Amino acid sequence: MRTRSALVAMSLAAAALTAAVPAPAVAASGAPHAPEAAGARHAPAAKCPQLDKKLKWYGKNRSALQRLIDERGTCGRSERAGGSNHRPVAAFDWDNTVVKNDTTDVTLVWALQHDKILRPRSWSDTSKWLTPAADRALTEACGTSVPVGSPLPTSTDAECTDEIFEIRTEAQTMDGDPAFGGRWNHRRTVPEYAWVAQLFAGHTPREVSAYAEAGRKKSLAAPVGSEMKVGTHTMPAYVRYYPQQKDLIRTLQRAGFEVYIVSAGVEYAAEAWAKGVGVDAEHTIAIRSVLRDGRITYRNEGCGGEPASKGETIPYIDGKRCWINQDVYGIDGPAAWERQDSARRIALGGGDADTDVTFVRDATGAHLVLNRNKNEIMCRAYDNADGRWLVNPMFIEPLPRKASPFPCATTGHINEDGSLSAMRRPDGSIVPDQRDRVSG
């Protein structure tokens, strides 16, 4: 658990650092250019650790990140700032940002393959938004013969596995009916993400960590490009840590940065995976389940003054900002949902999807985006309003160039009610549609 003293210390450290060091002028990746040669040179700060020049980054991204490390890292500013030990902060999304593929899905699939999901009294108990159609589909597929609280035989029951996995991945039943209904803030949660944590109700955190570790071992051993069956579904069987991101995180740490993972996945799974890049549980933020008698419940912790709930506030879009403000900078109450002054914002943010756009945009030094063709974050990245956005293709199996422009001027922004609208800059002007320029 993060202590209040640690949070306040982190807040003061970041504030002092930002005040002492001006933001670097980071070159944008919005314009197309040839990939940077492995031997390209950058004049390093005398004492700052260097990114591995043998690892390929797109364009000038590596040199831009190195410049940030040199200028913001405590190694590069010790003489300029009189030897201060204040530390800057970097934050990264996890799935498809630091690793290729989804580790929350890997954890859930391992649990399904080994009969680790416990039968609820009623499926409607698991989520406040689960529709009657989804409740019926799950009840019919998984049956009622297993006692409440006992493991469902999902390793052999393909129908039960299919319904669970379809609802998790597509938010619908196998018959195509909506699995979730009602109202929620679409910039603070998405029911099918919260539902994964709720599916582990009745287990201890240690048990879920063990499932995540087992799935981790299996998916790291699977060949790149391999697939597996989950019921009748097909999904990637492998996960890989991106060498570039692993190197970046460790170089940041050696340069004096506090590095956090902020994920919309299950906390215990995220912690099991994050240690593979040297990020401990205290620096891993994800969906935190409320425990009762040491066991996971259907409720998760709230953020920004919001109470514990069945998934109304998770680290998702604006929720990721809230948890960073709350856990890293010690900002309590509704203010945690708001963008802070530069003294209380991260130096570097990295993500790949719309769920990351708010906290990545908050970064004062550089916004690193892996291109997965997600509209809101790519509209921000290609608009490059502050000249600090760095776009990189995925390091493994990058997507080809998107043929049509990103619809920034019409549907580029996700509203709280789930509707889509034009994306606007801080001055109110509309971001024009953006063509895809950085791809595999």
Domain limit, last residue, from 236, 271, 306:
236
Specify the pLDDT at position 99: 98
Any domain includes 436: no
Query: Are residues 227 and 244 both part of a single domain?
Result: no
Any domain includes 427: no
Query: Are residues 68 and 108 both part of a single domain?
Result: no
Structural domain including 405 reads 4-101+240-421
Specify the pLDDT at position 126: 98
pLDDT of 385 higher than 90: yes
Query: Are residues 43 and 151 both part of a single domain?
Result: no
Query: Are residues 215 and 321 both part of a single domain?
Result: no
Residue with tokens 């698991």: 126
Query: Are residues 253 and 395 both part of a single domain?
Result: yes
Q: What is the pTM of this model?
A: 0.89
Beta bridge partners of 178: 172
Any domain includes 145: yes
The mean of the pLDDT values for the chain is 91
Domain limit, last residue, from 236, 262, 292:
236
Residue with tokens 């950085």: 438
pLDDT of 19 higher than 50: no
Mean pLDDT of 37-66: 79
Neighbouring residues of 80: CB distance < 8 A, sequence distance ≥ 6: 20, 21
pLDDT of 363 higher than 90: yes
The domain spanning residue 91 has which CATH number? 3.40.50.1000
Specify the pLDDT at position 6: 45
Contacts by 126-129 with C-beta closer than 8 Å and gap 24+? 126/195, 126/198, 126/199, 126/201, 126/298, 127/180, 127/191, 127/194, 127/195, 127/198, 127/298, 127/310, 127/311, 128/182, 128/309, 128/310, 128/311, 129/180, 129/181, 129/182, 129/184, 129/191, 129/311
Any domain includes 407: yes
pLDDT of 165 higher than 80: yes
Query: Are residues 199 and 278 both part of a single domain?
Result: no
CB 195 within 8 A of CB 143: no
Specify the pLDDT at position 7: 44
Specify the pLDDT at position 314: 98
Distance, CA of 6 to CA of 8 (rounded, Å): 6
Specify the pLDDT at position 32: 37
Give me the phi and psi of 296, to 5 degrees please.
-70, 140
Query: Are residues 152 and 282 both part of a single domain?
Result: no
pLDDT of 316 higher than 50: yes
pLDDT of 85 higher than 60: no
pLDDT of 81 higher than 80: no
pLDDT digits (tens, 9 = 90+) for 264-282: 999 999 999 999 999 999 9
Which of the four pLDDT bands, split at 50, 70 and 90, describes residue 77? low
Q: Residue 24: enclosing H or E segment and its boundaries?
A: none
pLDDT of 214 higher than 80: yes
Specify the pLDDT at position 435: 98
Query: Are residues 200 and 292 both part of a single domain?
Result: no
Mean pLDDT of 138-160: 98
Which of the four pLDDT bands, split at 50, 70 and 90, describes residue 298? very high
Any domain includes 434: no
Domain count, the chain: 2
Which of the four pLDDT bands, split at 50, 70 and 90, describes residue 27? very low
Query: Are residues 135 and 73 both part of a single domain?
Result: no
Which of the four pLDDT bands, split at 50, 70 and 90, describes residue 25? very low
**Of 40 and 254, which is predicted with more confidence?**
254
Any domain includes 428: no
Region of poorest pLDDT, from 15-24, 185-194, 340-349, 381-390: 15-24
pLDDT digits (tens, 9 = 90+) for 334-357: 999 999 999 999 999 999 999 999
Domain limit, last residue, from 218, 236, 254:
236
Specify the pLDDT at position 152: 98
Q: What percent of the chain has pLDDT over 70?
A: 87
pLDDT of 162 higher than 70: yes
Mean pLDDT of 419-427: 97
